[in-house]
Amino acid sequence: MAELRNLGIAFIVFAVLISLSLTINIGFKTLYGIEDNYTIDDKNIAQSLNDLTIVKRMNQTLTGPTDLKIPTGSFLDVVGSLAAAGIGALKTIASLIALPVEIFGVITGFYFIPPVFVSALITIVVLIVGFIIISKYIGSDV
C-alpha cells in the first residue's frame, strides 16, 4: 500500500466495476427474462456488494445538510444537520477500514467459504492498522 489515498480510490474503482457488472446483469435479466440462480435475501452477490456500508454512509453525508427542509429557526437544527453530515463523513472514513472485511463477508456468504477466513482477514486488518498507528506514534517504520 503506497498511500491511504490510493486505497480509497481503489475501493471506489471496485464499487464502480461492481455497479457496472450489476447494470449488465440487470440488463440481460430484463431483456431476456433470465432469473437469478441463487440469491441471499433476494439479492444476488453484486447487489449485496452494492449495499456495502461505504455507499450507505456517503448517502448519509449527503442527506445531512438537506435535512434542513422546515426552517424552524432553531440553532440546534443547523448544528444537528451539520453533525449528521460530520458523522456520515466519519463513518465513510471508518468504513474504508472495514470494507475489505465486508467485501470478503459478502463473497464468503455467497460461495459458502468457511468463516475462518473472515476472522483471519479481520486479524490481518487489525494488525495492519495497529502497525500503522504504532509507526505514526514512534515516527519511524516498524
Partner 1 sequence: MPIGISNTTNITLQNITNLVNITDPMELFINVNNQVYGGILTFVILWILAVIIFLALQDRENQPLINSMSALAVATILSFFYRAILVIKGGIVYGMITDYQMWVFPILTALLAAINISLKDR
Q: Cβ closer to partner 1: 36 or 67?
A: 36
Q: Find the angle CA(114)-CA(119)-CA(122) to the nearest 5 degrees.
A: 140
Residues 117, 4, 47, 19, CA torsion sign? negative
Burial 21-40 (b: 16+ CB within 10 A, else e): ebeebeeeeeeeeeeeeeee
Query: Which residues have a Cβ under 8 Å from the Cβ of 50 and sit 6 or more positions away?
Result: 15, 18, 19, 22
18/104 Cα distance (integer angstroms): 14
Q: Cβ closer to partner 1: 2 or 70?
A: 2
Minimum Å gap between C-beta 31 and partner 1 is 8
Minimum Å gap between C-beta 15 and partner 1 is 8
- Give contact residues for partner 1 (rule: CB under 8 A): 1-2, 6-7, 9-11, 13-14, 17-18, 21, 24-25, 28, 32, 34, 36-38, 44-46, 49, 103, 107, 110-111
Minimum Å gap between C-beta 30 and partner 1 is 12
Minimum Å gap between C-beta 37 and partner 1 is 4
Q: Cβ closer to partner 1: 2 or 76?
A: 2
Minimum Å gap between C-beta 1 and partner 1 is 6
Q: Cβ closer to partner 1: 35 or 138?
A: 35
Q: Cβ closer to partner 1: 78 or 132?
A: 132
Query: Do 14 and 103 form a contact (C-beta atoms < 8 A)?
Result: yes
